């Protein structure tokens, strides 16, 4: 019986990381089956499976220990499921995005890991619909830098697409007044198409590739780093001028998207209530892991509840 399914790099020795493992040949098959389970209904093993999937071609003794602990966790928690609670009308629900990041959690490359947990929430509703575990492409030099990169990845890859879809669902099935689309300025196309310079000089509006938000529903971003929240409020990040070149992330677009979109909000949440925390690292006590799993609605099936 194990308390958590994960082992962090700092719990392993140097020999474990350098020496080849014993189950390198069947490792890919085992990890891919576990990854299917993690994507389907077990976010509690997502970080461990993601860490093992990156080591399939360079399997070590450390991977053996991680895979053994993961197998023990799955064996003793076979009945665990991902639970959903639905009890509100569709117009009374909104999207909640929990974003978090580990700082230099990778012992080999000192890279951070981004985590995101997207849910449909309401007064009597909690339904997880998407989650993300992604290793950052460059080394972050502070926890705030790692957090804002994780925030950008979660909002861009999961938050905004789900917001557009949920607005469409609310518009069709919710009790809302008919939405009048905003008229966009028309372009002056009287110039000859072959005269490219004349044509472009008369263009006074370039439409956005994404449709404008209808402000029917809202996306609330829960962040536990106060410095990142202050950066988004002020609208500038001068200390992170290197981020567009190192991480290939446009922070100006990210801050502008949060400030100008009336459907996106940010809210501070304590580190103990940050659900995405268990998607970014592997150092947890038994009590911390139990609390995070309860917040993420992962656990044994409840006999007195019908989901």
Q: How many domains does the chain have?
A: 2
Domain range for residue 111?
A: 84-177+213-297
pLDDT (tens digit, 9 = 90+) per residue, 115-129? Answer: 999 999 999 999 999
Q: Is residue 266 domain-shared with residue 231, that is, in the same domain?
A: yes
The last residue of one of the domains, among 39, 60, 78, is 78
Question: How far apart are the C-alpha atoms of 133 and 142, rounded to whole Å?
Answer: 19
**How many helices (H) and strands (E) would you count in the chain?**
11, 7
What CATH number is associated with residue 167? 3.30.420
Split at pLDDT 50, 70, 90, the class of 108 is confident
Q: Which of 37, 55, 78 is the last residue of a domain?
A: 78
- Same domain for 97 and 39: no
- List Cα–Cα distances, 188 to 119, 191, 195, in angstroms: 43, 8, 13
Cβ contact 268:233 at 8 Å = no
Is 35 domain-assigned? yes
Please state the rounded mean pLDDT for residues 86-96.
91
Based on the domain organization, do 25 and 165 belong to the same domain? no
- Same domain for 121 and 32, yes or no, is no
Q: Contact at 8 Å (CB) between 154 and 132?
A: yes
For residues 123 and 219, membership in a common domain is answered with: yes
Query: In 3D, which of 107, 1, 97, 119 has the Cα closest to residue 51?
Result: 107
Q: How confident is the model at residue 294 (pLDDT cuts 50, 70, 90)?
A: very high
- Cα separations in angstroms, 223 against 102, 106, 154, 228, 269: 13, 22, 11, 8, 6
DSSP per-residue letters across 168-208: HHHHHHS--PPP-PPPPPPP---S-TT-HHHHHHT------
Q: Is residue 267 domain-shared with residue 165, that is, in the same domain? A: yes
How far apart are alpha carbons 116 and 136 in whole angstroms?
13
| Domain boundary pick from 63, 78, 93 | 78
Question: Do residue 155 and residue 277 come from a single domain?
Answer: yes
Report residue 264's pLDDT band, with 50, 70 and 90 as the boundaries: very high
Are 95 and 156 within one domain?
Answer: yes
């Amino acid at each position: 019986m194990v308390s958590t399914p994960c082992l962090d790099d700092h719990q392993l020795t140097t020999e474990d990381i350098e020496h080849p493992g014993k189950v390198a040949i069947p490792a890919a098959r085992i990890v891919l089956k576990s990854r299917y389970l993690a994507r389907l209904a077990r976010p509690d093993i997502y970080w461990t499976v993601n860490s093992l999937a990156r080591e399939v071609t360079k399997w070590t003794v450390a991977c053996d220990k991680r895979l053994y602990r993961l197998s023990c966790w799955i064996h003793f928690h076979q009945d665990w499921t991902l639970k959903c609670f639905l009890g509100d009308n569709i117009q009374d629900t909104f999207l909640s995005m929990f974003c978090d990041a580990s700082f230099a959690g990778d012992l080999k490359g000192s890279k951070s890991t981004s985590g995101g947990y997207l849910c449909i929430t309401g007064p009597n509703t909690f339904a997880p619909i998407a989650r993300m575990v992604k290793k950052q492409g460059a080394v972050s030099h502070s926890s705030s830098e790692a957090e804002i990169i994780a925030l950008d990845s979660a909002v861009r890859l999961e938050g905004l697409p789900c917001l557009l879809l949920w607005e469409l669902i609310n518009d069709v099935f919710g009790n809302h007044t008919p939405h009048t689309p905003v008229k966009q300025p028309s372009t002056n196309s009287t110039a000859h198409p072959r005269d490219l310079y004349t044509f472009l000089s008369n263009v006074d509006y370039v439409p956005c590739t994404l449709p404008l938000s209808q402000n029917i529903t809202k996306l609330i971003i829960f962040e536990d780093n106060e410095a990142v929240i202050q950066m988004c409020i002020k609208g500038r990040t001068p200390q992170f001028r290197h981020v567009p070149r190192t991480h290939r992330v446009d922070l100006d677009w990210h801050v502008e998207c949060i400030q100008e979109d009336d459907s996106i909000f940010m809210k501070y949440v304590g580190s103990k209530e940050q659900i995405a925390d268990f998607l970014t690292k592997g150092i947890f006590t038994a009590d911390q892991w139990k609390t995070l799993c309860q917040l993420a609605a992962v656990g044994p099936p409840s006999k007195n509840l019908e989901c």
